[in-house]
Amino acid sequence: MDILGNITVNDNRTLAFDINSSFLALGQNVTGKATYTIKQSELNNGSVTNSVYTIGVFNNDQVVSDTVNATVNATQNPALNITKEAYPTSYDHVGELITYYYNINNTGNVAILGNIKVYDNITGTFNLPSNDLEPGQTVNVTENYTIKQSDLNNGSVTNSASATNNATNSNIVNATVNATQRPALNITKETYPTSYSAVGDLIIYTYTVNNTGNVDILGNIMVTDDQIPGPISISNNDLAPGQNVTGIATYSVTLHDLDVGHVTNSANATGTNGLKSNNTTATITAINQHPALNITKSASPSSYGHVGELITYTYTVNNIGNVNIPEPITVYDNKIPGGQITIGVSGSVLAQGASVQGMSTYTITQADLDAGSVTNSAFATGPNNTVISNNTNVTILAIQKPDLKIEKVVSPITYFTVGDLIEYLYTVTNKGNVDISEPITVTDNMFGSSKISSSDLALGQNVKGFHQYYITPRDINVGFVINSAYAFRENEAKTRKSRHWAWIKED
């Protein structure tokens, strides 16, 4: 039969629409089309199925066709993308919090259904706050991570994260946060005892090395001390921040240490990769320092007998203390020209128990001969008079030769009658090697003893005196007059007498 008028198409996905046709003969067909816009739910479902039938008119009655179905399958592309940021971007201490910001985005064309989880190798597994995630939707979450010592030691923290609902897996995203490493060592030092007094005394140094940084110090810890031979190994183990290790070394006091009066040492600690600590110093002072000098002296010759004779003094200075004494040594002598000499070599030291010698000369004066002896006093000192020796005295005796010579002149040398006047003139000269300091007395067998001088008589000087004599009858009868005279000083035992004879004849 023929179908008259428009044919209406009924589709459960589209609105009903007419296919314009005035007449559809038996066996003929007519076509029409309609469009349908896909919904997200249909992508999610995976297909779209529609049912359609047509209605026409025959003899004013509706004619309904059979129903046909058509299914269109979806091309589903489920996809998740994850991005991640970390703050702060560095860390420097244990317990510091690193916050990771995760952004999970549905980059596919279908909804991601069910429980979506994030897997992170350091923060663990956690669920997103919403279950389903439509295409284009994003969810943001944060997780914290607490820094451990191993993270500081390693120098960085790298984590990997991905998202999944067990059906769709995202990409894997990594984030690295670097450590601000501050390796540091601090050394302190103690000494025992705090002073010393003798060569060979032992000083014990105790070193404490502390890890004041924020990372482990790996391997051997060494201490270098400028007073101890070679480096000192005090630990072969790792040293964690805040931990410390101790070690000891001993030092034996030398004579030089006694000389300078103190021992100062400097020490530092080193770890791996050239890590070096601060320097620590300690000073220990010497006690019971006994710098001491002893001086002895000899003189040559051991006596003297004339003006201008040279006396040579030999000084021996010995270090009798317990420390070395820097040279040169100064010897002070009250008799030598300038009053002092230096002995030894500048820049050298007079070692403990050692001695050094020096010489000087002295020229004998008349006063030395008169005095009968020369006594000098000497002592030795170190630099800047820091140590002063004993005083040493040496006395040299003079060979004194006091000697007087008397000469007599008689005037006249003849006589004639009783009562003639005879005058005797005495000249006494100092012919010895010393001054005569006492009065000079002349003894004459005719006149007795009389002083002719009350003052000193220097070497080579003379003094005069006289007597008068009147001729007696006996002298006329005898025919001559003979007298004898000698001179002496009051201290006769020390003076050689001089005698002079005078003979006068009668004319």
Task: Check the CA dihedral 168-170-171-176 and report its sign.
Answer: negative
Per-residue b/e over 166-178, b at no fewer than 16 CB within 10 Å?
A: eebebeebebebe
DSSP string, 454-469: SS-B-TT-EEEEEEEE
Alpha-carbon span 201 to 123, nearest angstrom? 62
What is the 3 state secondary structure string of 255-295? HHHHHHCEEEEEEEEECHHHCECCCEEEEEEECCCCCCEEE
Q: How far apart are CA 113 and CA 460, in angstroms?
A: 148
Neighbours of 25 (CB within 10 A): 8
In this prediction, residue 492 carries a pLDDT of 58
Ranges assigned E (strand) in 382-497: 392-398, 404-411, 414-415, 421-430, 440-444, 448-453, 462-470, 480-489
How do strand 173-179 and strand 195-196 relate by DSSP bridges?
Answer: unpaired
Three-state DSSP class for residue 152:
helix
Query: Looking up tokens 């007079």, which residue turns up?
Result: 350
Region 187-286: CATH code: 2.60.40.10
Q: How far apart are CA 199 and CA 254, in angstroms?
A: 5
CATH class of 293-398: mainly beta
> What is residue 218's DSSP assignment?
P
Domain boundaries defined on the chain: 3-73, 80-179, 187-286, 293-398, 404-506
Tell me how far apart the alpha carbons of residues 221 and 216 are, in angstroms, rounded to a whole number.
Answer: 12
Q: What was the pLDDT predicted at 494?
A: 40
Chain centre distance of CA 275: 20
Spatial distance between the Cα atoms of 342 and 308, rounded to a whole number of angstroms: 25
Q: Indicate the CATH number of 80-179 among 2.60.40.10, 3.40.50.2300, 2.120.10.30, 3.40.640.10.
A: 2.60.40.10
492 φ, ψ to 5°? -60, -30
Structure token digits, residue 57: 């008119």
Q: Give the residue among 325, 468, 317 at the shortest CA–CA distance from 384.
A: 325
192 strand-pairing partners: 204
Class of domain 404-506: mainly beta
For the chain, how are helix, strand and coil distributed in percent, rounded to 5? Answer: 10, 55, 40
pLDDT per residue, tens digit, the chain (507 aa), is 677 667 888 888 888 887 866 677 787 888 888 888 999 888 888 899 999 988 888 778 788 889 999 999 999 999 999 999 999 999 999 999 999 999 999 999 999 987 899 999 999 999 988 778 999 999 999 999 999 999 999 999 999 999 999 899 999 999 999 999 999 999 999 999 999 988 899 999 999 999 999 999 988 899 999 999 988 998 888 899 999 999 999 999 998 888 888 999 999 999 988 899 999 999 999 888 888 999 999 999 999 999 999 999 999 999 998 888 999 999 999 999 999 999 999 889 999 899 999 999 999 999 999 899 999 999 999 988 889 999 999 999 999 888 889 998 999 989 999 999 999 999 999 888 888 888 888 999 888 988 888 778 888 889 998 899 999 999 888 888 888 988 887 665 444 444 555 556 555
